[in-house]
Structure formats: structure tokens, C-alpha cells
Structure 1
């Protein structure tokens, strides 16, 4: 059976990720393909790439930021390099050190290397899950791997089967968890994992892990080291043979990145900010940062055709995806790509430095007791206080209530995330809460306190939501995003610091980042907390075109009703849960799109 047509279809399906060039390489029992976005060594970095003996060949997505250091080390051991590309440095590093080369890599990557002599394939994904990698087994035992699920489906070598458990997890979280896909027969290689295929046997194993709160350190020493590591990360990630710009929201993370980029560029940095009408408008803050650093600032005020964009998102993401900020992320990426191929972003800063509002509740839980008297007192204070303090006292009462229930901070965290209640009746699965997916993400007992929530956010939310959102939205336009705050040296250092340095109940969120980097920020943003691209889901759902879409996907004859037996009986109560409605709409549109291509396992009522 010829596999060339299957490979050609896969390459075409990924042409948006690499619009500059594409190629295929045929070897005995292996066919490699690649679509290229030319960033480093446009001439020498052509892929798929073979090493001089033709034993090894690679297809690689991403960037190895320390490839020059790796090249120097290889030369010191007598290895000759023909190019300046990070692809060759990675390929020869594997030839020289085998799978141990992964410990030397600083970058975002997903790659596969075929060993012609051993007739084996080795693949790996970066530590934090910035770059995606999926795989599946065909009926005849063939291994299929790709950067996006659409390429695996395009091969025609599998019949994708929708996984009921994955859809239940999606409805709870707003995204498919990072350790699975929406299909039972298409798999994700998790972050910091490697894969080996030989003689029809597949093994997957973890090659790296982070540590939480394992070292003690003086606050001033920690601040100085964070300053050094962030500056080093930004300098590393500006390496490219094309211009590097930056997303600039005017938040703490992106402002830090832009402030540190300026000394390393001979030209004015191009920065990009977009206002989205009825969304939160951060343009004034971004403008302040741009003026401070004299960037070449590009901003755009944009209205959104929500109904049209929902259809586009169903195609871009390959899976149901309920984080509504994917729409503005897609549009700002489209805007930036008109000016450059690479942008730095502040992604990962909230997970690393504790920037999400949901951490406030968990910090409160660690600062209050669990007595009924406390709970009653805080409730009374909420009733008696002026409006400005009501929220504070109510939050304390809620924290005491959670302590009285004895909720594990990880369990409490999960209950407060995502779409909330109203999901189980839709599933109509007797004896099941639809939470079977959650057990895979429970932290080990050695992880304590608020770190139990951080552990989940780093392992599931960051790769499953944030990096999925950004990678697909940006690469849909052939735009590479880089996240300096996910530099491995910085990540390892910060996460090992005591919780007391990363979270301080008496201060604003991100205390360590504020102490380390506020000298880089204009005064207008020093006191800011996270805003982000939070979309007005409730008002979007009320738009006539979107309302019509929702009615269509929830009809009794829809694919969504086929999957969710309890949908019709719950229709009237759905309006109380706008995020759940949004998740259902995204799921329904996605199911309609793939209905002819995938097998949908109907769950018995």
C-alpha cells in the first residue's frame, strides 16, 4: 500500500503552520513530512533533514533557543555541523547523546526522529507543552504522528471515534484535558514526555518534571535571580533570522517582556495590541508601555462577528474548545502576522507567578480557620459592611465554609473552575458524576497547600487551555509565538521557591514578579491585576445569529442531542449557566462539522 497520498493529505492539512515550504522524505518503513515556517537559517534548515550518514532523519516543529550552545558543545566533541539551523543541532545532539539530549534542550519543540538502522522512531515534546504532538495507530499497526489532529484524520488511515469521557471532561473544564484528545483512538503526547516506537511496540515515558516549594531562599536573593533569569530568557528567545515582535496587552507579563526586549534589538520593537469593542479595552495601558519603550506600536479596534468566528474556531481547534478568548487571540494573531513571523508573549506568567484571581480564595483558606463561629461572624460582617467591604467578608466566609467541609485545595480548585454545575443531568449517565477524568490530575500527597492548585494549572490548564489556544490561533496564520516566562531555567527556579515567596496573602497577586520587575513598568500598570481577553459570553449568546446557532445545535435531531441524552429535558435551565451554554454551542458546532468523518458513540439514556 502506497502511503504517499496519505502523507500528501497530511502535509496539505498543516500548510497553515508552515506556509514557506514543505517536503517529504521516504525511507524504508517510514515516511516523514514537514511544512516549514522559516525562522532560523532559511537555506540550511530545510526539512525533513537527514544527518550525513543518512541513518537518522528528523521532522521538527518549534525552536531550540540554546541551539548555538549545543552546536558549540557538539563541535568540542568532534562533531561537524553543516548549517546554523537549530534543526541540525537537535538532530546531531540526538545522534551524539541519544534521548539524554532532551536534558540539554531549552526551547519549545515537538519532533520525531527516524533511525533507519534500528527501524525505530523517537519523538518528544517540550517540558511545558507549548508545542503539540498527537499520534494514532492505524488498523494495520502503522504509527501516525502530527502536530494537529486534523492531519491525522486527513491521512484517511483511521476512523476517529468520539470519546464520551473526553466530552464530559470538556463540559466541566471548557477544554479537553491535556492528557487526552476528544477521540478515543487519537492520543496526545503529554508535555515533558518522550515516545519510542520499535518492532510494533510503543512506549511513552516522562523525561522531566517540575518541583514545588523544595528550597529555602532569602527574598532579596530570589528577586535578584528572577531578574537575571527573565532577562536571560528574553534575550535567548529573540534569536531569529527574521524580525521578532511582541504581543502587548499592557498587563504585567507582556510589559515585562517588552521592557526587556528593547536593549537587544537594533530596531524599534514592533508591538501589537487590539481592542475588541465590548470586551475589556486594554489599549490605554498597552499604549503607555509602548510610549515608555518607544516601540513601533500597532493597535487595532475591532468588532467581532461572533457567529462567523464560532464556525472558524470549530475548524481551527480540531476539538471542542470553550475558552472564548480564543476568538480575540486568533484575531490579534492575524493582525500581527501582517508585520512579522515571530512574537514574544507573556503566556505562562500567571501559572508561574500566581496571577489568577482564583488563587485569592485558596490563599484565604490558608489564612482563616474552620470554626462555625468564624463563618457566622464573617457573614454578619458582610451584611453590616458598606459595599466596598462586603465582597471581602463574603470571601472569608466562603473560605471558612470550604475549610469546614474539609475540601482538599485541589478539589476545591476544580469545583470553582470551568462551567460549574448543571453538567451531570445532560450526560444522563446513572452512577457517574462525569468526573472520571479528574483522578488523573490529582497531585501527589507531597504537594501541599496552594501548590496543589498550581500543580493542576501547570499540568492540565496551561497545556490544555492556554498553550492550545495560543498555538492553534497563531499558527493558523503562520505566526510563531514564544513564551520567555516558560524558559526552563526560570521555571525550575521559581517553582522550587517556598510558597510564602510566590503567594503572600497581604499583597497583590504575583508578589515575586512585582518585586522583581516593577522597575520596568510605567506607573499606570504597577497596581494592575490580570484582566485578559475575558469575553462577554452572556451578551454574545443573546446575539440573534448566535442564538439561532444555539437553537440549531440543541434541537432534538442534532448531533449534540444524540450524544447528550439529557439535553432536551434541561433546555429551560441552561440559561442560568452561560459558560455551560457556550461550551454546548462550541461542542455542537464541532460535532456538526465532524459528523460525517467521525464515529460518535451514543451514550445510553
Structure 2
């Protein structure tokens, strides 16, 4: 893995501020501690930090073609680079290294911007073609690797793997985007292409951006790939299971190429266990695996990880993590550069820290829930859709809306008695209902929390518009539809962002075989009833893995990577959270109603309500603001 950054003069060929470019590059040192490089010419500056994985002695970046007219800085891995190099060599291109980076410059020469369609892997890169006076930016299909950019008033474009590289330039506006604030408190992250700053954009997954010097305005990114959900023609469950294993094994196999120590995360869940099982079958040496354990059995999966490790005789390493890891809270704000409220970022950070002690590359099981319909919310969404179908909206809206308003909010009661959110969801249309189900704070909670000033600045905007935008291209089947929506939002904005920042903070490369785009496209084409069968999510995935993993691994209840927030905020963090949320830094933003924030704290700390998601979201927003803007 690596970190990239750069400066492009969209208007003229003014000299690049090399000192600024160097500082931008240094801000990403953690992403590439092994090497660094700069290239400057009139109007263009490219910078790179390298974590050496392949061709350790070569592959220095920025990397040029033969006559130095094309140069690239790149973050990622292209797993089919050897096949592409042979094809390009046959077409007359001359290679000087054995790195996947050099494939990019020759592929650009041969195929232009369609080169990205030939790459199989994870990547974000910036390529400068002097002859065409063109800067080309691209991001991989699923958004495993990040890329941010901003156009300054003077016509200079900044870009970087992380927002912190752009913030090095003091002339970049720090004004926050009210819509990003609304999105954050709905989803817990800020979906692309928006960022917390009005001035900064994220290049969406599967998109490219072509900039030519002299353009009067910044062009819109263009999409080059989307998951299809077209039927692959496989209906028989046994045939599907057999093909699934072969395709997964191949996706894992191509990710085992490395000239540095390689291993895998092993949580004990289905997805990471599946990846380890495939790795073990492809290697004649024990697989390096690692996991972390918690003191609280409700959050501890380490015993299940041990079972898989024993079955495959892996070289397994477990480390106990302090369940009260409070010191990490402040550090997370500096890692993510914008508000980010997934509390599993804390154990993810620690497991990456553990893995880096033994390996430089780790395979993970991320993407399994989105690909195979593993989230419980998918099942509940289908139940709700079955009820919505026969009842017209004109009746559902007022009737279920009234019932939801009257039903008490009983966080303290058994789950079977907590019907308020279900009744409220049934009053909404399908997309609004799904938005509420994935929101960490519901629309009414956000409305009560926000100040009149923020409500005015939102001008009626609501976070559901993110989902409505993607739904225009989503499949018709209700299960495939919400899987698609999650792939376009939650997967890139939350899951992959979390893993990228946590791993790169330690100079660790994480590879994600379940999100191989060829494998994912095939999986998307399986019939929905093979993914969610009755109450069993990931049905075909689990059936295919039965010869490889025990039933206790495949069919036990899902646990997740959680931390005990509710008890933290009533106990050891009680006073700290009150000081942070009611302090000047957060309230000076003018975005929040102080009385409501105080009421949320009082209700939670008295035990009357569980407002831990709201408190955590506010804490991470406050930590971001204090570190970045205060």
C-alpha cells in the first residue's frame, strides 16, 4: 500500500510549490514508510509514499514510461499485472521493472482511459500525460482505496489518499458542509462524493476523472463499472456451491503474491474463516493468522477463531485488548480526518496493530455480508416489504405513523416488545424505511438534535436523498436492491474506509478477496433466494463452506466487532463525555441544540434510554472538530 498526493495547475504552467508538495507527501508517511518520491514540472507535482510489497528493489515512484512523457503515482495492487505486462510486451512496450505500477503507464499508452477496465485489483492512482496535457485520476471498482481532491480558487487542483494531505495547504477552505453533517448523523460516515468540507470531494468507487489544462470548470467524474446483478444462469444450489468455492479460491490465490510476510485476520466469523480455509488449501506452509480477544464474552469471538486455527494448523496469534481503550478515541479523529462514528474502528485499529507485528500484508473477509445478504436488516426489510406491498401508502402513512408515535420507546424492554421503530418504518415508503433501518440516528432524533441554524442551512435536504440517488439504478428485487444500496454507500463509506485508515495507520496492506470484482459480479447474479433462505442469511455461502468449516462456525449467531459503549458512557466515561459534548468546541459550531444534547446525556446516564449511538456520534464529531478545526 501507499499514499499519493499531488498538485495540478488547471489554468497555466505555473511553478509548483515543491515545499508544499513535500509536506503533503510527508503527511502520508504512515501509508508508505519504506520510500518516498516527488516529481515536479511546470504546472504539475506528483508525490508518493511507498510500502514495498512487490519488486522491492524496483518500483520506485513516481514511475515513468520510456521517454518520460507519462508518469504515475499509485496506491494499491493490480493482481493481473503479469498477464497485462505480457500482453503489453507483445504489443511493443518495454518494461524496466517487475512491478505492477509500470503496467499502468503502458496500459494508458495502449488503451487510454479504458485501461482501468483491464485492471483487476484495488487501486487509486494519478497519471500525468505531458503530450496530452492530461491528468487522469481513477479509483477501483468497490472503493477499497481512497482518493480525495479539491479545486482551489486560484485554479490549482489538490489530490491525496487522505484529506490530511489536502489540509496541509492553508488556502484550502475549512468550511463544513451542512449536508455532510446531516449525512454523518444519519449514516455514521459521510458517503461519497461528499466530504465534511465543502471544498473537498471523494472520487466515487468505479469512477475516473480526466482533467485537461485550460478547462474552464472542473468536469464531473465518469463511471466505468457498476455491479450488475444480472443473472449468471446458475439455479441449482449444488452447482452454485461448487462454482462459488472455485471462484473464491481463485480470488484468494491471486492475492497471495507478495515478497513480504503475509497473513490473514481471523475473527472466527464465517467470512474471515472462509478466506483462511482457502489460503490453507493453497499454501504448503502454515498460514499466519491473528485475532484479538475482549474480556466481555458478549464481544469475544476469539474462541471461535481458535477452532478454525486448530483445524487448519495456522500459525495463530491472539492478543487481549483492553476493553476500556479510551485513549484511542482522540487518536481516531486524526486517522479519519472527518467525523466517523463506527465504534468498531477501535478494535479494527488494534487488530491491524497486532497483525503488523508479524506480517506486512493481511487478507480479510470484508464484503461477505453485503455480497451474500448476511445482515439481519435485510431479513427485516423483506418482512416490511411484504407488509407494505398490499397496503397502500395513503393508508399506511397516517395509520402506522400514529401507532408508531403512540407506542412507547422501550429500550429497557425485551426486543419482542420494542415495536416502535417497526411501526414507524411501515409508515414510510421502501427507501425511507430502509434509510431509517441503517441510520444510527433516526430522522426525528436528528431534527431534534440540530439547531435552527443548521436546519436553515440544510434547506430541506435529508440524508435519504443519498439512497434515492443510488436507487435509480438499483435492481428491482427488494433484496438485491438493498444489497446494491449498501454496496454503493455503507461498504465504501464505512467498512472499507475503516479498514483502509486503520491498516494504513500501521503501514499494513489489507487485501479483500470477497470483493474481487469478478467474483462479486458472479455472486450478484445468483438468485436472491440462494443468499437469504428463510431466516438464514449467506445460505449458499455457508452451504458451499460446509466441507471446509464446522457448523459451529457457519451457523452460530453473528456477533460483530463491537465495543460496550452504553456502559462506558454511564461509567468510566461519564464525566469526560459530558465535558466534551457540552464544551465550547462542539457548541461553538452552532449546529446543535444544547438543551437537547444535555437531555440525551441525562436520559442515557440515568438508564432510562439507550442513546449510546447518538453520544458516540457526537463524541467523534467533537473530537474531529477539536483536532482539525478548533
On whether the aligned pair clears a TM of 0.5, the verdict is yes
Mark the CA change 1:507 to 1:589 in structure 2 (over 3 Å): closer, same or farther: closer
Query: 1:519: which partner in 2?
Result: 547
Contact 2:188 2:342 in 1 (8 A): yes
Give secondary structure in 2 for the equivalent of 1:34: strand
Query: 1:472: which partner in 2?
Result: 501
Alpha-carbon offset, residue 539 of structure 1? 1.2
Task: Find out whether 1:590 has 2:617 as its counterpart.
Answer: no
Q: What does the per-residue CA deviation read over 1:421-474, in whole Å, with 9 as the maximum and x for residues that have no partner?
A: 321122134576975343133202762212222122100000000001000001
Mark the CA change 1:424 to 1:398 in structure 2 (over 3 Å): closer, same or farther: closer
Write the distance in 1 (CA, Å) between the matches of 2:474 and 2:102: 40
Query: 2:61: which partner in 1?
Result: 47
Write the distance in 1 (CA, Å) between the matches of 2:311 and 2:381: 36
Which of residues 520, 544, 557 in structure 1 aligns to 2:584? 557
Contact 2:40 2:46 in 1 (8 A): yes
Q: What does the per-residue CA deviation read over 1:522-555, in whole Å, with 9 as the maximum and x for residues that have no partner?
A: 34312124322112111122343x3333222222
Alpha-carbon offset, residue 557 of structure 1? 2.6
Task: Find out whether 1:330 has 2:359 as its counterpart.
Answer: no
Write the distance in 2 (CA, Å) between the matches of 1:81 and 1:210: 33
Task: Note the aligned Cα RMSD (angstroms).
Answer: 2.5
Write the distance in 1 (CA, Å) between the matches of 2:186 and 2:474: 26
Contact 2:235 2:527 in 1 (8 A): no
Task: Find out whether 1:230 has 2:248 as its counterpart.
Answer: yes
Query: 1:254: which partner in 2?
Result: 272
Contact 1:170 1:320 in 2 (8 A): yes
Task: Find out whether 1:509 has 2:532 as its counterpart.
Answer: no
Task: Find out whether 1:500 has 2:519 as its counterpart.
Answer: no
TM-score relative to the length of structure 2: 0.87
Give secondary structure in 2 for the equivalent of 1:287: helix
Query: 2:485: which partner in 1?
Result: 456
Alpha-carbon offset, residue 517 of structure 1? 1.8
Write the distance in 1 (CA, Å) between the matches of 2:460 and 2:290: 41
Alpha-carbon offset, residue 250 of structure 1? 0.7
Query: 2:326: which partner in 1?
Result: 307
Give secondary structure in 2 for the equivalent of 1:453: helix
Q: Please list, as runs of the form range in 1=range in 2, the aligned pairs for 1:150-549 lying within 5 A after superposition.
A: 150-201=164-215, 202-203=218-219, 204-219=221-236, 220-278=238-296, 280-366=299-385, 370=390, 405=427, 407-421=428-442, 422-429=445-452, 430=455, 435-442=461-468, 443-444=471-472, 447-448=475-476, 449-504=478-533, 506-544=534-572, 546-549=573-576
What is the aligned length?
578
Alpha-carbon offset, residue 398 of structure 1? 7.9
Q: More deviation in 413-422 or 349-358?
A: 413-422
Write the distance in 2 (CA, Å) between the matches of 1:46 and 1:564: 46
Write the distance in 2 (CA, Å) between the matches of 1:316 and 1:196: 29
Write the distance in 1 (CA, Å) between the matches of 2:514 and 2:75: 20
Contact 2:147 2:162 in 1 (8 A): yes
Query: 1:383: which partner in 2?
Result: none
Q: What does the per-residue CA deviation read over 1:541-599, in whole Å, with 9 as the maximum and x for residues that have no partner?
A: 2343x333322222263334433241334421342321011100110111111124xxx
TM-score relative to the length of structure 1: 0.90
Q: What does the per-residue CA deviation read over 1:192-236, in whole Å, with 9 as the maximum and x for residues that have no partner?
A: 000111124332111111122545432233222211110100001
Alpha-carbon offset, residue 238 of structure 1? 0.8
Structure 1 gap ranges (5+): 380-389, 597-605
Write the distance in 1 (CA, Å) between the matches of 2:280 and 2:332: 34
Alpha-carbon offset, residue 488 of structure 1? 0.9
Contact 1:553 1:560 in 2 (8 A): no
Write the distance in 1 (CA, Å) between the matches of 2:487 and 2:48: 29
Contact 2:176 2:196 in 1 (8 A): yes
Contact 2:385 2:430 in 1 (8 A): no
Structure 2 gap ranges (5+): 1-14, 393-398, 404-413
Give secondary structure in 1 for the equivalent of 2:186: helix
Write the distance in 2 (CA, Å) between the matches of 1:393 and 1:128: 38
Give secondary structure in 1 for the equivalent of 2:433: helix
Q: Please list, as runs of the form range in 1=range in 2, the aligned pairs for 1:119-138 lying within 5 A after superposition.
A: 119-138=133-152
Query: 1:568: which partner in 2?
Result: 595
Alpha-carbon offset, residue 499 of structure 1? 1.8
Write the distance in 2 (CA, Å) between the matches of 1:402 and 1:170: 20
Give secondary structure in 2 for the equivalent of 1:436: coil
Alpha-carbon offset, residue 371 of structure 1? 6.8
Mark the CA change 1:277 to 1:446 in structure 2 (over 3 Å): closer, same or farther: closer
Give secondary structure in 1 for the equivalent of 2:56: coil
Which of residues 119, 134, 138 in structure 2 aligns to 1:105? 119
Q: What does the per-residue CA deviation read over 1:374-421, in whole Å, with 9 as the maximum and x for residues that have no partner?
A: x99xx9xxxxxxxxxx967988x9878855x3x443321111123233
